[in-house]
Each structure stands twice: as C-alpha cells, then as structure tokens.
Amino acid sequence: MKETKNITMPKLSPSMEEAVLVAWAKEPQEQVQAGDVLFEVETDKVVCEIEATEDGVLERLCFEEGDPIKPGQTVAVLRA
C-alpha cells in the first residue's frame, strides 16, 4: 500500500499572508531525499528554499511557478 503525504506551505513569518512560488527544484515523479530543496518561494521579506522532510517520490505538484500560496495549503504530494 502506498502512503502519501501532503507537503504544506509553512508560515515563514508572522507577517506572511502568502508566498509566491518562484521555482520548483524537482519534477513530478522525481525521487527526493530528506534535506533536498523541493521548491523556492518568495515572501514579503526573503526568498526561502523549502526542504523535503522525508524521502519519497513527488507524486503531484499542486502549484505552478508564479502562483501565490497561502500558509497551510498543500503544495505537493509525496509518496513514501
């Protein structure tokens, strides 16, 4: 049975209302390891590279580059 996990957008600062997806560092169906940079977002203050917290295959990317993302929204789905 395959187990999936939603990768959600963290709230990177108290003033952050949304972040813009700058770029994906990985492609759909790509194998990733914990610590790999998955994607890059831009907030009101900084550009932030978000790392994978576990190993798996990126089953689905939910946003495209340039899209705004709110904290808590699912950005990608990872299959363990």
Partner 1 sequence: MEGLRHRGLNGNSCRKGDDMEKMKVRYNQNAIDEISRLIQQLNLNTVCKEANCPNMGECYRRRTATFMIMGSRCTRNCRFCNVTCGPAETLDPEEPMHIAQAAGRLGLKHIVITSVTRDDLPDGGAGHFAEVVRTVREKNPDITIEVLIPDFKGSRESLDKVIAAKPEVINHNMETIQRLYEDVRPQADYQRSLEVLSYVKSKAPEILTKTGIMAGLGETEAEVFQLMDDVRAAGCNILTIGQYLQPSPEHIAVKECVSEQQFESYKKVGDEKGFSFVASGALVRSSYRAEEALSHEK
The binding site for partner 1 (CB under 8 A) comprises 10, 12-15, 34-35, 37, 40, 42, 44-51, 53
Q: Minimal distance in Å, beta carbon 71 to partner 1?
A: 12
Cβ closest to partner 1, residue 52 vs residue 61: 52
Cβ closest to partner 1, residue 1 vs residue 66: 66
- Return all residues near 1 (Cβ < 8 A) that are at least 6 apart: none
Q: Minimal distance in Å, beta carbon 1 to partner 1?
A: 24
Q: Minimal distance in Å, beta carbon 41 to partner 1?
A: 9
Helical spans, DSSP H, in 1-80: none
Tokens of 2: 């395959």
In 3-state terms, what secondary structure has residue 5? strand
